[in-house]
Amino acid sequence: MSNNDIKSLGSFVWSIAELLRGDFKQSEYGKVVLPFVVLRRLDCILETTKQDVLEMAASLPRDMDDEARDALLSGVVGSNIRLYNESRFTFATLKGQDPKDIHRNLIDYITNFSGNVRDVFLDKFLFTDQLKRLNDAGLLYQVFDRFTQIDLHPDTISNLEMGYLFEDLIRRFSEISNETAGEHYTPREVIRLIVSLLLINDRDALTGTGVIRQIYDPAAGTGGMLSIAEMEMKALNDRIRVELFGQELNPESFAICKSDMLVTGHNPENIAYGNTLTQDAHADRRFHYMLSNPPYGVDWKKYADPIKDEAAEQGMSGRFGAGLPRISDGQLLFLQHMISKMRHDEQGSRIGIVMNGSPLFTGGAGSGESEIRRWMLENDWVEAIIALPTDLFYNTGIQTYVWLLTNRKDKARRGKVQLIDASGERFWKSMRKSLGSKRREIPPEACDQITRLYAEMLNGDGDWSDVSKIFATTDFGYREIRVERPLKLAFAVTPEGLEALREAKPFARLDEEEQSAILESLEQHLAGGRWVSRSAFDAALSDALQAAGVKIGAPVRKAILGALSERDEAAEVCTDAKGNPEPDTDLRDHELVPLNEDWRTYVQREVLPFVPDAWVDKSHIDAQDGGVGRIGYEINFNRYFYKYVPPRPLEEIDAELKALEAEIAGLLKEVVE
């Protein structure tokens, strides 16, 4: 079936949703149409074996074990299908019944599915609720009748094409309800690119007989990534056994994904329902390949407690020991979760994940994001990062990046990371018709080129010198050292200073008599003078207070010194009790020293020639290695792939402005006339 045929089918199904107008909110259309599409798909698959299943069911003893019964009845349907239906109805026979009985008959049909399908319709789609609403509105038979006109048998529309159909429908429903289709679907060309990158160097290992591979998606959505990965692997070797695993939080997406597993012969129990980050349904499993498109910029505040508890209690033996990203974005939690699923054997694991730019550079040294990047790079798991074109996704036009990680790097890649800037015009083409925010797509030839750049580890070579570069993992690291400047203060009794003193908490706690005595002594003995030495002013203050017979404690003295001081480069350096210069926190700065350079050499070259009195705070150390300065990691694509664009000539800008002035003058003249 061609793309145009799938779009036409999507338009027909969409037209069925129009029947709901007035009785259902637009945001509710998908809750009716999507389960009906799944139901019709299953009906088309089961129709030819319906009578055989009924005969087999009638012959089985009533006290037979449920598992054995399921196996026998599913076997009648087909060796690769793990479902059956014991109702006497099909869509064809339901249409021949009295329309008044359609609600009762459809309930009979749905509740007589095998338990794994019944769960999908009753618990996840909540389909019986929608059927009742349709029946109460007098719409049920009309909607049902329209679906009987669609042929969704696998001989007519493949599993991959069903994925396209769901993609089209979910996008439409999301647009009219202001939801985000991107939370459910990743564009197929992006999935193909990720799968191609994961498999390109594994072709030899995937050929032959007896090859078994397990694929996992922790944010499975409707299962598009899993199904395309399987398809590509079987294109390499039709004898390979591919086992698919996943977990999904959205009930409708989960229901679609599980239905797909049921009709394609996969174990539906491998697709779990729930929150991957808090309820890991595959805690004891490890996988050969993992790929995912986790939600971008979605906060994890509402389920932060179990995640923080796991990080604190299990540390590096758990999933989140490396660090926790900021509460507003949980992408790096998914990546850490996937790393915890790596196999530690000869085959190892490979990960492909698409994220926005935040995980590359958000967070300074010591932050959760930086510590996670540090953990990945110092363990040498990051193989490559590919910048994709903008405007690829349905719900956002932002820049996205594919990260490739593995714990079995080839020798040539050890200690290195490849960056590929595939965001330029050579790697995308405009779509004839935009789909939400999706205005561009990656054509197959561009996908092949990106895969070749990665596979051949091109490093600034030839025509592609500006899009592919190789770096050492340490090139992304730095030490954040704290540079201090000496505190230099001058002192004087001024109206502004006295007002600041009145507002100081230690002074405000004194009774009015004590306050008045202090203020009077300051104005009488110190007003009009200016001191450029703190020790000299402190002595003068002591003399003034003694002369007035006023005694004060250390907090009040500190408040007086703070209120009556101002920074002055000409003043003497303030020192502590040991004679060491005190730092001026307002002048404190931080320098990012490349990890491959000694911080002392850096300071001599980059700091002291400009501020000779500066020094490095050696107590500001890294928690892990104990060295001076905190270690941080960031990957800034713009820094490595910056392209200078010279400004336009002034003559050209001037000519354009004059043309605009003339155009505006002409328009104004038309208005006046």
Q: What is the mean pLDDT of residues 345-370?
A: 95
pLDDT interval class at 23 (50, 70, 90): very high
Q: Return the beta strands (E) in 131-248 as ranges.
A: 212-217, 241-248
- Looking at the chain, the whole-number percentage of residues with pLDDT higher than 90 is 71
> Residue 647's pLDDT is what?
85
Tokens linked to 123: 């618990």
Q: Are residues 65 and 186 in the same domain?
A: no
Q: Are residues 419 and 563 in the same domain?
A: no
Q: Are residues 194 and 170 in the same domain?
A: no
What is the rounded average pLDDT for all residues in the chain?
91
Q: Is position 204 within any domain?
A: yes
Could you read off the pLDDT of 507-542 as tens digits, one per residue? Answer: 999 999 999 999 999 999 999 999 999 999 999 999
Count CA within 13 A, CB hemisphere, residue 493. 18
Distance CA 211, CA 240 (A): 5
Q: Are residues 171 and 202 in the same domain?
A: no
Distance CA 449, CA 472 (A): 23
Q: Is position 616 within any domain?
A: no
User: Does residue 9 register a pLDDT over 90?
Assistant: no
| Entry pTM | 0.85
Could you read off the pLDDT of 222-239 as tens digits, one per residue? Answer: 888 999 999 999 999 999
Q: Are residues 450 and 318 in the same domain?
A: yes
Count CA within 13 A, CB hemisphere, residue 77. 27
Q: Are residues 143 and 193 in the same domain?
A: no
Q: Are residues 294 and 382 in the same domain?
A: yes
Q: Are residues 131 and 195 in the same domain?
A: no
> Residue 181's pLDDT is what?
41
CA-closest candidate to residue 283, choices 333, 352, 213, 337: 337
Q: Is position 22 within any domain?
A: yes
Among the residue ranges 228-232, 258-262, 268-272, the one predicted with the least confidence is: 258-262
Alpha helices in 61-186 (DSSP H): 66-77, 91-95, 102-111, 115-119, 127-136, 140-148, 159-176
Among the residue ranges 80-94, 304-318, 386-400, 641-655, the one predicted with the least confidence is: 641-655
Q: What is the mean pLDDT of residues 303-331?
A: 95
Higher pLDDT: 352 or 164? It is 352
CA-closest candidate to residue 330, choices 396, 278, 405: 278
Q: Are residues 392 and 446 in the same domain?
A: yes
> Residue 643's pLDDT is what?
77
Helix (H, G, I), strand (E, B) or coil at 383: strand
Q: Is position 320 within any domain?
A: yes
Distance CA 428, CA 390 (A): 9
Q: Are residues 34 and 101 in the same domain?
A: yes
Q: Are residues 271 and 153 in the same domain?
A: no
pLDDT interval class at 164 (50, 70, 90): confident
Helix (H, G, I), strand (E, B) or coil at 422: coil
pLDDT interval class at 182 (50, 70, 90): very low
Q: Is position 481 within any domain?
A: no
Helix (H, G, I), strand (E, B) or coil at 433: strand
Domain range for 496:
489-567
Distance CA 549, CA 599 (A): 53
Higher pLDDT: 15 or 141? It is 141
Q: What is the mean pLDDT of residues 278-307?
A: 93
User: Does residue 63 register a pLDDT over 50?
Assistant: yes
User: Does residue 623 register a pLDDT over 50?
Assistant: yes
Provide the domain count of the chain.
3
> Residue 170's pLDDT is what?
77
- Indicate which CATH number applies to the domain containing 277: 3.40.50.150
